[in-house]
Chain A
């Protein structure tokens, strides 16, 4: 407490000013994190977005109405007809349990919110909690100033907002909070070596496992951290206690989730954790022996033990992997190590746009200035290496690599970018703000009278540089906020179940076709009707239309999806056989040619062909049949005959040939493919049109029954 520092708030002491500053910055970050995610609720209404959240919403509704035991034992016969799906054993229940707990808690206080409202606003609530958790984690890693900076940055970073807007009710919304919570407790347990913190860390890890399949990242980063500490010679009893407790309790708890089951001891993704656990025990035992034996005895024992044990482990692991007891790395995770694997072998994984590799503009779009502050943060961590700094360095480097391989994993990169950038901003600013502190300069110049001139000139020089630097950092941070708000507002706030566009006179048109068509299905078809569509729309149809579907977004059965793909890609007669086999009553397609909506089924058609042709029954479907002789995919009169006669083409363009879509163009002009369609006047043999939504985006066809007499 120096007398020349004028207290801003009169009689408050410096500590009280600091706590006030901390509290106000944190509250502003929390409120900001919540409010910046509300764009779509303000523009449209509080509605669930996208595809996957509809499934989560349906299961949460079931859980809230029927209780946990019936939820855990639920066998759903309304999806994947005729196979059904064991929901209790194939989901991560953390999200649903959290939402229904909050729902029941609020209702017990007589705040009667609907389950849908709780689901829509759960992700923003957990983002606010994430901001607080980032502050705690970064202050453990570096300093309070860095923590406040990181909390402010993670409140608005677009890479996290994209998966946690209000309405995006998906696992990632709570998973990032659980992940940072687990990391915070892990750092605490490595710093203190207390079993209390390590046990809390295992409980937090259990919550993380219950919420997202990305927990595999955690169970590999934490052992990797311990391994690097061992290699650097920093392995101490604190790390030993922390890791042994976390691994044993954490693995036991994680196996309580039905979906995870026995994977922690059977799959290769978890073997690193097991290996490092064994290595921990060996190292600790060796230290104990070394402390209690003479040097030569110890040397002999040590060398023979190492050779014997590494031989056993090597041979044992090899035998187990070769005999299949330990499963090798599975498809999704293997494609992180070998990015071309999915493209060549598993078309379903390759077709999801979130699984594509990342380009530089996605990094900049999602992170802006954090991309420069990240290397600077790494530099500050490397210059002051401690046990916990090594953890954040490992997390950062691996997260950057994985985010480069798959766009979806940008979400895992965003928190560590914020943490390291917070460290960079805080360290650099505190270095330079020292030169702007006036009391410092006064004491300096009065002490050395002889060197006054040099000191004062270098001081003014340093002061000038400091002013410029602080101004530049302030400018960067201000531009960051503008960027983040713009990106959130323009790119990440569309519900995608409701589309909007501007007409030529500037007014907004809302396309509510999806909900209109699903509600028609709900009201005008029999209860046990079966609907066939491409797997993207499965979750939405079961949640909103409440009808049985053939395939949905879970994509667990490639053969079944391939059968649907064959039906879409074949001629009407062949498709009719497949539809009779699957008991299909209605077929639903999405068509964007009238409105210019480009994510429609014709644009996805080539994936249907590839997946349809990937199983033995679809061997007659070859992708190049659907291209023109010159290798283009065209829907006009030059398109290939196979394409112009397949069922998907007929369903999308039925009666479209008489519609005028754009001024100056002939009727039947497809606004997405920018071409006039090839075959305009045709009739359907085995289908009849049941419903077409207002802007022709959703088209529903009824499958005709078998004719009364013999042949058609």
Chain B
């Protein structure tokens, strides 16, 4: 295919085409489904951590505030603003979401393994990952929006 294009190119200029053995390189093939899956997970991580937001608005990696005694303290999570974030906060939260998803994938893989020890280990890992993802993101959102899930049944004021 490539050989014919090159020969056509040469012959159109009037030069005798040389004896070439040109081919597409061996590694240029359609990627396997695992590679495409991995790439789509990477794209998912990038989008969910808010990389586009970071690129356009350029927030700092973390914020600084001074406490009562005048010492500067690091603020990692921007409070009271649902559509704004610090960069580190975005990447950590995206990672937690990805880990939660991987937990369920690992739990499914563990059923395909033989041998009770491997199964036990893998399912334990999967459960831990999923719970970590869920509890982690829940804690983040509680810090970010302190009245999250309050006022559900009581008519309090905030």
How close is A488's CB to chain B, nearest CB, in angstroms? 12
Q: Flag whether A371 is at the interface (Cβ < 8 A).
A: yes
Q: Is B41 within 8 A of A339, CB to CB?
A: no
Residues in A neighbouring B134, C-beta threshold 8 A: 369, 372, 476, 479
Q: Flag whether B4 is at the interface (Cβ < 8 A).
A: yes
Task: Give the segment of B17-25, B67-75, B83-91 that binds chain A.
Answer: B83-91
Q: Is B90 within 8 A of A359, CB to CB?
A: yes
Q: Is B101 within 8 A of A375, CB to CB?
A: yes
Q: Flag whether B64 is at the interface (Cβ < 8 A).
A: no
Q: Flag whether A248 is at the interface (Cβ < 8 A).
A: no
A375/B52 contact (C-beta < 8 A), A397-B40, A428-B107 known: no
Q: Flag whether B37 is at the interface (Cβ < 8 A).
A: yes
Q: Is A404 within 8 A of B116, CB to CB?
A: no
How close is A542's CB to chain B, nearest CB, in angstroms? 30
Q: Flag whether B43 is at the interface (Cβ < 8 A).
A: yes
A486/B56 contact (C-beta < 8 A), A360-B85, A502-B157 known: no
- What is the chain A residue whose CB lies nearest that of B49? A360
Q: Flag whether A303 is at the interface (Cβ < 8 A).
A: yes
Q: Is A432 within 8 A of B37, CB to CB?
A: no
A361/B141 contact (C-beta < 8 A), A307-B8, A356-B83 known: yes
Q: Flag whether B65 is at the interface (Cβ < 8 A).
A: no
Q: Flag whether B5 is at the interface (Cβ < 8 A).
A: yes
How close is A390's CB to chain B, nearest CB, in angstroms? 10
Render B114-158 as a binary contact track against A, CB cut-off 8 A, 1 for contact: 001001100100010011011001001100110011011000010
Q: Flag whether A231 is at the interface (Cβ < 8 A).
A: yes
How close is A379's CB to chain B, nearest CB, in angstroms? 5
Most buried by A among B41, B47, B98, B107: B47
Residues in A neighbouring B36, C-beta threshold 8 A: 382
Q: Flag whether A385 is at the interface (Cβ < 8 A).
A: yes
Q: Flag whether B57 is at the interface (Cβ < 8 A).
A: yes
How close is A268's CB to chain B, nearest CB, in angstroms? 22
Q: Is A469 within 8 A of B133, CB to CB?
A: no
How close is B27's CB to chain A, nearest CB, in angstroms? 17
Q: Flag whether B33 is at the interface (Cβ < 8 A).
A: yes
Q: Is B5 within 8 A of A461, CB to CB?
A: no
Render B69-105 as a binary contact track against A, CB cut-off 8 A, 1 for contact: 0000000000000111100011001100110111111
Residues in A neighbouring B51, C-beta threshold 8 A: 404
Residues in B neighbouring A309, C-beta threshold 8 A: none
Q: Flag whether A587 is at the interface (Cβ < 8 A).
A: no
Residues in A neighbouring B50, C-beta threshold 8 A: 357-360, 363, 404
How close is A350's CB to chain B, nearest CB, in angstroms? 9
A357/B111 contact (C-beta < 8 A), A372-B100, A397-B43, A461-B120 known: no
Q: Flag whether A401 is at the interface (Cβ < 8 A).
A: yes
**Contacting residue for B46 out of A404, A462, A482, CB 8 A:** A404
Q: Flag whether B55 is at the interface (Cβ < 8 A).
A: yes
Residues in A neighbouring B55, C-beta threshold 8 A: 339-340, 357
Render A571-602 as a binary contact track against B, CB cut-off 8 A, 1 for contact: 00000000000000000000000000000000
Q: Flag whether A378 is at the interface (Cβ < 8 A).
A: yes
A364/B93 contact (C-beta < 8 A), A357-B53, A359-B85, A482-B152 known: yes
- What is the chain B residue whose CB lies nearest that of A361? B82
Tell me the bound Cα distance from A358 to B84 in angstroms: 8
Q: Flag whether B16 is at the interface (Cβ < 8 A).
A: no
Residues in A neighbouring B47, C-beta threshold 8 A: 358, 400-401, 403-404
Residues in B neighbouring A485, C-beta threshold 8 A: 152
Main secondary structure of the interface of A (DSSP, over half): helix
Q: Flag whether A468 is at the interface (Cβ < 8 A).
A: yes
Q: Is B151 within 8 A of A490, CB to CB?
A: yes
Q: Is A356 within 8 A of B41, CB to CB?
A: no
Q: Flag whether A80 is at the interface (Cβ < 8 A).
A: no
Render A342-383 as a binary contact track against B, CB cut-off 8 A, 1 for contact: 010000000001001111111111000101111110111010
Q: Is B104 within 8 A of A405, CB to CB?
A: no
Q: Flag whether A23 is at the interface (Cβ < 8 A).
A: no
A397/B44 contact (C-beta < 8 A), A360-B85, A361-B85, A376-B101 known: yes
Tell me the bound Cα distance from A657 to B133 in angstroms: 53
Q: Flag whether B28 is at the interface (Cβ < 8 A).
A: no
How close is A625's CB to chain B, nearest CB, in angstroms? 24
Q: Flag whether B1 is at the interface (Cβ < 8 A).
A: yes
Tell me the bound Cα distance from A502 to B158 in angstroms: 9
A372/B130 contact (C-beta < 8 A), A339-B56, A358-B53, A401-B43 known: yes
Most buried by B among A364, A365, A407, A457: A364
- What is the chain B residue whose CB lies nearest that of A335? B56
How close is B129's CB to chain A, nearest CB, in angstroms? 9
Q: Flag whether A506 is at the interface (Cβ < 8 A).
A: yes
**Contacting residue for B108 out of A385, A427, A462, A506, CB 8 A:** A427
Residues in B neighbouring A353, C-beta threshold 8 A: 83
A379/B44 contact (C-beta < 8 A), A303-B1, A307-B4, A359-B90 known: no
Residues in A neighbouring B97, C-beta threshold 8 A: 360, 363-364, 371-372
Q: Is A365 within 8 A of B82, CB to CB?
A: yes
- Enumerate the 6 nearest inter-chain pairs by beta-carbon distance, A residue then B residue, closest first: A375-B101, A372-B100, A404-B47, A376-B104, A357-B53, A359-B85
13 A–B pairs (Cβ distance < 8 Å), ordered by A: A307-B8, A356-B56, A364-B140, A375-B44, A376-B104, A376-B108, A385-B33, A401-B43, A401-B47, A404-B48, A432-B107, A458-B119, A465-B119
> CB within 8 Å of A: which residues of B?
1, 4-5, 8, 30, 33-34, 36-37, 40-41, 43-44, 46-53, 55-57, 82-85, 89-90, 93-94, 97-98, 100-105, 107-108, 111, 116, 119-120, 123, 127, 130-131, 133-134, 137, 140-141, 144-145, 148-149, 151-152, 157
